[in-house]
C-alpha cells in the first residue's frame, strides 16, 4: 500500500514508505525532462494532477515532512529545466521569468495564460508542501447514509470533507457551499466517494462563463447524464 508503519515510544506512526517517495520523485523528474522545449503551462498542467493525486492519497497519515521533501525535489527539477531552456541567461533573469511571488512565496512556479474567453489568469504549480494533513474521521456507530433520520449527520460530515477537498475561500469551494454540498442532478451528497466534475450551466460554446454563478459540481455519472440528455434534445431539434 506504500506505507511505513512503525512504533515510536509506543505510539504508532504511519508514513509514506521511502521507496514510494523516491520512485515518485524520480517519476516527476522524468516527466519534467520529457517536456524539454515545452512551455511552462504544459508542465503545470502535466504535474498538477500527479502531485494532487499523491497528496490526496497520503494526506491522511504523517506526511508533512514528506511533502516538504518532495516540494524541494520538484523545485530542483524545475530549476534545472529552466536553466536548460536558457543556458546563457543569469539566475535573476530565469527566476523572474518562471517564478512569481504568491502568498509570500517568491519561488512559486507560475505563468499567465488566457482562458477560453481571452481573459488573462495566473496558473500555478500545485504546492504539495502546503497540503493540509487530514485525519480520517470514523463513522459513528451504526450510522448509515440510507437512514433518513441521520441525514443531518451525513450532511455535516460531507461539509467537513469538502473543506479539505477545495481550498476554503476559492471559487470552487463557494460553488459547493452554494449547493449545500449536494449534487443538483441526483440530489445525493456531493462527496460520497464518486468522482466529481464541474459543469457549466450555460455551455461555454453558447456564451457561458467560468463565473461562480454558472458553475455546478456534479458527480461524473450525473455529468454524463446531463450531456447525453442535451445531445439527444439537439438531435431531435435538428430532425
pLDDT (tens digit, 9 = 90+) per residue, 172-230?
888 988 988 889 999 888 877 678 899 999 988 888 888 889 999 999 999 998 888 76
Own/partner contacts of 198-201, CB < 8 Å, gap of 24 or more, are: 198/172, 199/223, 199/226
Domain check: are 95 and 181 in the same one?
no
Domain check: are 126 and 155 in the same one?
no
The verdict on residue 37 lying in a domain is yes
Domain check: are 118 and 204 in the same one?
no
Residue 198, number of CB atoms within 10 A of its CB: 14
Strand partners, 3: 16
Report residues of the chain scoring pLDDT below 50. Answer: none
Last residue of a domain, one of 130, 165, 183: 130
**Rounded distance between C-alpha atoms, residue 156 and residue 164, angstroms:** 13
The verdict on residue 143 lying in a domain is no
Residues of the domain holding 26 = 3-130
Last residue of a domain, one of 101, 130, 159: 130
The verdict on residue 138 lying in a domain is no
Domain check: are 87 and 153 in the same one?
no
**pLDDT of res. 180:** 85
**pLDDT of res. 68:** 96
Number of domains in the chain: 2
**pLDDT of res. 163:** 61
**pLDDT of res. 12:** 85
Q: Give strand ranges (E) for the chain.
A: 3-8, 11-16, 99-102, 105-114, 120-124, 196-200, 215-219
- pTM of the complete model beyond 0.85: no
The verdict on residue 139 lying in a domain is no
Q: Which three cell numbers stand for residue 105?
A: 512565496
The verdict on residue 135 lying in a domain is no
Q: What is the CATH number of the domain that holds 175?
A: 1.10.30
Amino acid at each position: 500500500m506504500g506505507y511505513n508503519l512503525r512504533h515510536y515510544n509506543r505510539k504508532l506512526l504511519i508514513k509514506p514508505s521511502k521507496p514510494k517517495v523516491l520512485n515518485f520523485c524520480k517519476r516527476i523528474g522524468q516527466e519534467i525532462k520529457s517536456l524539454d522545449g515545452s512551455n511552462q503551462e504544459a508542465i503545470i498542467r502535466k504535474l498538477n494532477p500527479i502531485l494532487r493525486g499523491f497528496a490526496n492519497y497520503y494526506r491522511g497519515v504523517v506526511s508533512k515532512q514528506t511533502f516538504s521533501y518532495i516540494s524541494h525535489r520538484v523545485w530542483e527539477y524545475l530549476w534545472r529545466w529552466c536553466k536548460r531552456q536558457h543556458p546563457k541567461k543569469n539566475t535573476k533573469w530565469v527566476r523572474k521569468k518562471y517564478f512569481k511571488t504568491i502568498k509570500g512565496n517568491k519561488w512559486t512556479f507560475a505563468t499567465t495564460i488566457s482562458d477560453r474567453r481571452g481573459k488573462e489568469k495566473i496558473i500555478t504549480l500545485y504546492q504539495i508542501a502546503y497540503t493540509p494533513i487530514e485525519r480520517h474521521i470514523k463513522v459513528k456507530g451504526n450510522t448509515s447514509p440510507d437512514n433518513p433520520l441521520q441525514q443531518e449527520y451525513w450532511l455535516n460530515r460531507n461539509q467537513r470533507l469538502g473543506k479539505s477537498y477545495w481550498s476554503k475561500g476559492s471559487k470552487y469551494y463557494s460553488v459547493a457551499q452554494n449547493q449545500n454540498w449536494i449534487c443538483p442532478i441526483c440530489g445525493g451528497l456531493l462527496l460520497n466517494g464518486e468522482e466529481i466534475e464541474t459543469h457549466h450551466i450555460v455551455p461555454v460554446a453558447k456564451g457561458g462563463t467560468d463565473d461562480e454563478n454558472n458553475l455546478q459540481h456534479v458527480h461524473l455519472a450525473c455529468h454524463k447524464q446531463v450531456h447525453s440528455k442535451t445531445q439527444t434534445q439537439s438531435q431531435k431539434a435538428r430532425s
